[in-house]
Amino acid sequence: MQKLNKYLSISIIISIINLGLLYFIKYSQNNLGLSDFSIFKTGNFISLIFTLLLVFGIILYSQKVKRSSLEHSKLIFLFSAIYFLPLLLNILLSITDFNYANEYLFGYPFKKIIPLIFFIINQTVFLFVLVLAWYLAFGYSVKSYFYSIFLVVILIISFLLFSFLYTFNINRVDFKQEKAQFDFGIILGAAVWSGNVPSPIFKGRIKKGAELYKEKIIKKIHLTGGNAPGEISEAKAAQNYLITNYKIPAKDILIEESTSTTNEQLSFIKHHLIEQKRRPNFLIISDEFHLKRIQEIADFYNIDAQVIPSDIILNFEKSLYYRLRDSIGLIFFWLFAI
């Protein structure tokens, strides 16, 4: 049996370290410890499978050909170093607490966009190396590089399609079987329009929360969501709307105004609402297209939560847009926990 040359051996080591660092970043950036880790979480399992496929592809390449091309091996090593570097940069930015410019792009702060770009580069080039190794293993040479680029695009599109269809697979709360009250009804933040008025989508979530409170299904309402500079927070806008329009007592409304993403909101629940000696149960209220991503994030954080959609009905174009956006967000969470 032919031995792996040093370039292929180092490439395998890089892929294993890359997996370990990816897990480390996902959990450390969300203040989670080793006890929270499970290889069977969807995103963790996907990353493991990708890494195993790459390792086996490189090994197969080294064994299937009579003499592994040194040039191809060097290129596999080079591309491995290329995908590994952005992950190291993300860790460096994290541990040095890099001070990003206080700027926004498409409504998202630079401090989130820059790490995301590095993550995307990491996984895209990683997939290229994975596909390249398997193409080379089956005897292709120069054409492998062009085929690999094409297949990576196909894989990304297929992954997005899978994620899109997966968002329809929701485990809804069944109130006929659910006897106990929920300690908290969590209304996730959404856009606030001019005049500090919740957007129609946000109003739908707030209305659903008010109805559940009055039906005594939830004991308290918890509102989440920060604000853009110069605006009232999403949580505060929702609180005002609940008190003014539904006469919900202020004592039964809790708010947090520091989070801006679904992941941050679920992280807040994990670290601030779950007590050490008692685990409250949660009913999370959002839109139907958003529920699967909420369930996946809650599962990642080991949060005991059910989900329920608001009653708002979107037209086809808006429903397709929001579901597609959430599908992309779900992929980012699976791979990067952001």
**What is the mean pLDDT of the segment spanning 201-206?**
96
Neighbours of 48 (CB within 10 A): 15
User: Who wins on pLDDT, 236 or 4?
Assistant: 236
Q: pLDDT averaged over the chain?
A: 89
pLDDT at 77: 96
pLDDT category of residue 1 using cuts at 50, 70 and 90: very low
The mean-pLDDT minimum among 24-38, 57-71, 209-223, 277-291 falls in: 57-71
**For 258-281, what is each residue's pLDDT tens digit?**
888 899 999 999 998 886 546 788
Q: Please name which of 248, 231, 225, 229 lies closest in space to residue 195, comparing C-alpha atoms.
A: 231
Using DSSP, state whether 93 is helix, strand or coil: helix
Q: Which two tokens stand for residue 30?
A: 């969300």
User: Who wins on pLDDT, 191 or 44?
Assistant: 44
* pLDDT over threshold 90, residue 80: yes
In this prediction the pTM is 0.90
pLDDT at 279: 72
* pLDDT over threshold 50, residue 114: yes
Distance CA 48, CA 102 (A): 35
Q: What's the start-to-end Cα distance of the chain, in Å?
A: 43
Q: According to the CATH classification, is domain 182-313 in 3.30.70.1140?
A: no
**For 115-146, what is each residue's pLDDT tens digit?**
899 999 999 999 999 999 999 988 777 778 88
pLDDT category of residue 105 using cuts at 50, 70 and 90: low
Which residue type sits at 165? L
**For 58-75, what is each residue's pLDDT tens digit?**
999 988 765 557 888 999
User: How do the domains of the chain map onto residue ranges?
Assistant: 6-166, 182-313
Angle at CA 133, nearest 5°, toward 131 and 134?
Answer: 65
Distance CA 192, CA 89 (A): 35
